[in-house]
Amino acid sequence: MESLDELLKECGRLHGHMCAGQLLGARMAVVGCRLIRIDDPRGADRKKLIVWVEIDRCMADAVSAATGVRLGKRSLKFHDYGKVAATFFHTETKEAVRIVALEESRALADARYPQIEKKSERQFRTYREATDEELFKIERVAVNYNEMDAPGRPRSRVICASCGEGVNDGREIIAAGGHVLCRPCGLGGYYRNIQAPTP
């Protein structure tokens, strides 16, 4: 894997600015890939890595930039847990590690560099120098991942009996009476209709 500086350049390009979150995400990517033995996530090993991120903030962009995983390629998965955490999974060995930024890492910046006035600078300096153990909780995990979650062509497609919209890759639910429904129709979604659809 490239040096942290090289990775940070890539992060800045994708994310549009440099911030403590980029550093944290880039370091997570380095540790995560090392522990599951992925050496070249953006090159030779690019088909072997799947990453789950648990927050939609700066860190998520950095993990994506540093490892090359993308939502549109199905190599990046997002669960909205509001946690600065990511799980790195090797599709061949099935090894996975989940890495969580420690709450203590926030206080570390204030303790180490009280003389630096800007909080973001204190954090950036600290997140660069601190050890992995000072910054992260790291745990071996098993992930729920199957063929329907894998990159590549859609595995299946059905039509929701309620809204008529197509649903890929087994994301439908089978309701009472055997009706095939999309998740928003069956379970409730993030939107609700406020006018009759067109056409």
Residue with tokens 């890595």: 49
Is 163 a binder of Zn ion (CB under 5 A)? yes
Is 160 a binder of Zn ion (CB under 5 A)? yes
Q: Determine the size of the site formed for Zn ion (CB under 5 A).
A: 8
Judge if the upstream peptide bond of residue 114 is cis by omega within 30 degrees of 0: no
Q: Of the candidates 175, 144, 173, 171, which has an alpha carbon nearest to the alpha carbon of residue 155?
A: 171
Select from 4-12, 66-74, 155-163, 191-199 the region that touches Zn ion (CB under 5 A).
155-163
Select from 5-13, 68-76, 86-94, 152-160 the region that touches Zn ion (CB under 5 A).
152-160
**Beta-strand (E) ranges in the chain?**
49-53, 76-78, 85-90, 96-101, 136-140, 157-159, 166-168, 173-174, 180-181
Q: In whole angstroms, how far apart are CA 102 and each of 48, 105, 118, 135, 147?
A: 27, 5, 21, 6, 33
Give the nearest distance from C-beta 195 to Zn ion in angstroms: 17
Give the nearest distance from C-beta 126 to Zn ion in angstroms: 16
Contacts with Zn ion, 165-184, as mask; x by CB under 5 A: -----------------x--
Give the nearest distance from C-beta 13 to Zn ion in angstroms: 13
Q: Hey, what amino acid is at 165?
A: E
Query: Measured between alpha carbons, how far is 64 from 55 in angstroms, rounded to an integer?
Result: 12
Contacts with Zn ion, 47-76, as mask; x by CB under 5 A: -----------x------------------
Q: Under rule CB under 5 A, which residues in 3-22 are in contact with Zn ion?
A: 19, 21
Interface residues with Zn ion (CB under 5 A) are 19, 21, 58, 160, 162-163, 182, 185
